[in-house]
Structure formats: structure tokens, C-alpha cells
Amino acid sequence: MRTFLLITAIFCGSIAISAQAEPLTQPEYVKLLYAADNDAARADLIAVLRSRGISFVVNDGLRSLTRTKSGNDTELRRALDEADRRRRNPEASRVPNAAEAAALLTRSRQATLEAVEEMPDFVVKQQIQRSASFAGTGNFRNLDRLVVAVSYRASGEETYKLLSKNGAVEPNPQERRSYEEAGGTSSTGEFVTVLATIFKPESQTKFEVVDTDEIRGRRSIAFDFSIEKELAKQIVAATGVTTETAVTGMKGRLWIDRETARVLRIESEATGLPEGFPISAARRTIDYDWTDIAGERYLLPLQSDVRLTVRERGNRYETRNVIRFRDYQKFGTEVIIREDDVSPDEIQKP
């Protein structure tokens, strides 16, 4: 069985904003929902929700119907909830104009790059659940649970110690450059690399404002972004008997806090994977939140969800890593295994 590694590096640009029209009525929405039986139709429905808004209350029954009829399409559900928030409070959910969006991006770039320069040395515990399914089914089967201690240096160096696997504590954990020694899918770059590369001028990121949204109670603006392969320089590696690597571009979406201009979530996927490469798709979602380290507050990863679609022996599989970041502490602090670290009930189910 091959193992797979996603190493990140990422994306400045144009803004497009939809015009408002008469709000959708509930019968109109339901009719469009029943007709949204493919990706293109769902994308059209999302665009209508964002451009026209809605005139009706979104209740639990309507949310349930949306989940069922859309195949649990996350973007459609988010667009519907935001349309409901915009109905209730139009000003708070107003999509920024081009000048406002550009100004927010400028603030976010400055704040992010300054934060990268001020990042401390720290240690953090990663609780990792790995699973796999046949591609396209979503029926993930749990493979294993890992607890990994990560030491981060402000220079960008990351080292890893595998502390436990499936509840069995490692007696003498060795420091490694990644947790690949446990086998299976792994990833790096969640702490600084992704954020820094998005906003570095040399990345020439193209941005397009998508919508307003709410992330963990914070009002945010969602932007699509993209970068060419020659500038992204993301490395995707498939490791088996030998290691194959590919340099890819990147596209995705990020959510910026409307008030603080800090990034709260990033969704990204590799672009330009070569034909015949063992990995046909590589996607990752990173959620960021504020945490205290030695009395100072820093915006750091809260959770990462990494998914790779791979080809092996004529079959296509999707691997999934759900990584929770816990107990950030100053560098040099010993990371301790607790009972809840190895409890399967404490790890998010795929």
C-alpha cells in the first residue's frame, strides 16, 4: 500500500461581485432545489441564492430537505444559511464592493505576514484520525488513530514524534521530520506555509470575492483564490517502493474575518496534477482560531481535514486525515498523553 504526502506552498488580484435582484420565494427555492440534481445545477442555485437572496425563514425542515436533495452539498447549505442571515440583517451580511474587498485583502495580507514574522517557537499535540473509502462513495472506514507531538520553530522547521497509535503508547518516540513513519497519508505546512504563501507578493495570487459568511460566530468575507503551478510550487508526493512527486498549482477559498482581517478558514486543492500520477486529487481544509501561548494570543490551526484521491491496482480510493490541534505550549514543554487523547469518541468521525 502506497503512502501519500501533501506538502504545501500557495497565492493578488481581481474582484467580481454579483448584483442583487428580487429575493427568492420559498416555492421558487424548493423548485430549484428539486431540479438541482447535478453539480452544474447546484452551482446555478448557489449563484441565485447569492445574487437574489431569499424572502423566507430557513427552518430545520428546509435545511434537512436541502441536505437530502443536494447530496449534503456543503457550499449550498452555507449559501442558504448566509442568505437567511442576510434577510435578517442586510447590513451585517452585505457583500463588500470592489474597493472594500481590496482594502480587506490588503489589511489581511499585512496582518498575516506580520504574524508570520512574530510566530513563536511552540509545541502542540495533534490528534489524528485516518480513514479511507472507495472514491466517490463517502463511506469512510477508520484506519487508525495517532497522537503526534509537533515542535515548531519560528524559522519554519517542524519536527514530529509519534506518541501513540490506536491507543498504544509508543515507549520511545523518535523525533522525525513528519509522521510518515506510521505509514499512510500525511501532510505538512498547516502552521505558516499555507497562509504565508497566499499573501506573499511573488505568489501573484488572484482573488475573487464570493460571499459573506459566518465562521464560529465571526462575520467573514469568502474569497476564491488561485495560483499558477510555477508560482505555487506545491509538492504532492506518493511514496511506495519508490517515491513519485509532482509540482502543482493551487486553487481554493479562504474566509477573512471582517473585523480583524485575519484568515479563519482555508479550503484548497491541487491543480495540474500530471496524467497518470498515482494521486488524482489533493484537497485540504484548515480552520484557524485564537490560542494562548505563554500569555500571548496567536492565530493557529484548530483543525485540518486532508483528502487525497489515489489510484492503486485499478481502483480509486479516497484517504482522509482529520487532524485536531490541541494544547499549544511554549517550546520545550513536554507533550503528555492523556486518556482522552486515545479515546475514539474524542476524535471526529469522518
Range of weakest confidence among 10-19, 53-62, 307-316: 10-19
What is the mean pLDDT of the segment spanning 224-237? Answer: 90
User: Does pLDDT of 5 surpass 70?
Assistant: no
Most confident by average pLDDT, 150-164, 192-206, 238-252: 192-206
CB 14 within 8 A of CB 102: no
* Stretch 175-201: mean pLDDT: 74
Closest by CA to 289, choosing from 261, 263, 252, is 263
Are 268 and 256 in contact by the 8 Å Cβ rule? The answer is: no
- How do the domains of the chain map onto residue ranges? 3-13+118-346, 26-88
Q: How many Å apart are CA 138 and CA 74, to the nearest integer? A: 14
Average pLDDT over residues 270-280: 91
Model confidence at 297: pLDDT above 70: yes
90-117 pLDDT, tens per residue? Answer: 998 999 999 999 999 999 999 999 998 8
Q: Work out the pLDDT band at 182, boundaries 50, 70, 90.
A: low
Mean pLDDT of the chain: 86
Sequence-distant (≥ 6) Cβ neighbours of residue 163 within 8 angstroms: 125, 147, 148, 149, 169, 170, 173, 335, 337, 341
Per DSSP bridges, beta strands 279-293 and 296-312 are: antiparallel
Report the candidate in 18, 96, 84 with the shortest Cα–Cα distance to residue 53: 84
Residue ranges with strand state E in the chain: 3-7, 122-134, 141-152, 158-165, 168-169, 175-176, 186-188, 206-215, 218-227, 234-239, 243-257, 263-271, 279-293, 296-312, 315-330
Report the distance separating Cα 94 and Cα 103, nearest Å: 15
CB 233 within 8 A of CB 200: no
Tell me: pLDDT of 41 over 70: yes
Residue 138, phi then psi, degrees to nearest 5: 75, 5
Percentage of the chain beyond pLDDT 90 is: 57
pLDDT band at 161 (very low <50, low <70, confident <90, very high): confident
The answer, yes or no, to whether residue 14 has pLDDT greater than 80, is no
Residue among 272, 143, 119 at smallest CA distance from 193: 119
Cβ-based neighbours of 102, under 8 Å, separated by 6 or more: 15
Q: Which residue has the higher pLDDT, 143 or 5?
A: 143
User: For 116-128, what is each residue's pLDDT tens digit?
Assistant: 888 889 999 999 9
Give the C-alpha separation, 134 to 140, whole Å.
Answer: 8
pLDDT band at 179 (very low <50, low <70, confident <90, very high): low
Whether 317 has a pLDDT exceeding 80, the answer reads yes
Most distant CA pair in the chain, distance: 65
Average confidence (pLDDT) over 26-55: 94
Helices (H) and strands (E) counted in the chain, each on its own, are: 7, 15
Mean pLDDT of 177-181: 65
Phi, psi values for residue 141, rounded to 5°: -110, 125
Q: What is the DSSP string of 242-285?
A: SEEEEEEEEEEEEEEETTT--EEEEEEEEE-PPTT-SEEEEEEE
What integer pLDDT is reported at residue 233 of this predicted model? 86
Q: What pLDDT shows up at residue 241?
A: 56
Question: pLDDT tens, 59-89?
Answer: 999 999 999 999 889 999 999 999 999 999 9
The average pLDDT across 220-227 equals 96
Q: What is the pLDDT of residue 172?
A: 79
CA 172, CA 165: separation in Å to the nearest integer?
Answer: 13
Range in 51-55, 92-96, 212-216 with the lowest mean pLDDT: 92-96
Helix (H, G, I), strand (E, B) or coil at 221: strand
Q: What is the pLDDT of residue 348?
A: 46
Encode burial over 242-275: b for 16+ CB neighbours within 10 A, e otherwise: eebebbbbbbbbbbbbbeebbbbbbbbbbbebee
- Quote the pLDDT of residue 202: 92
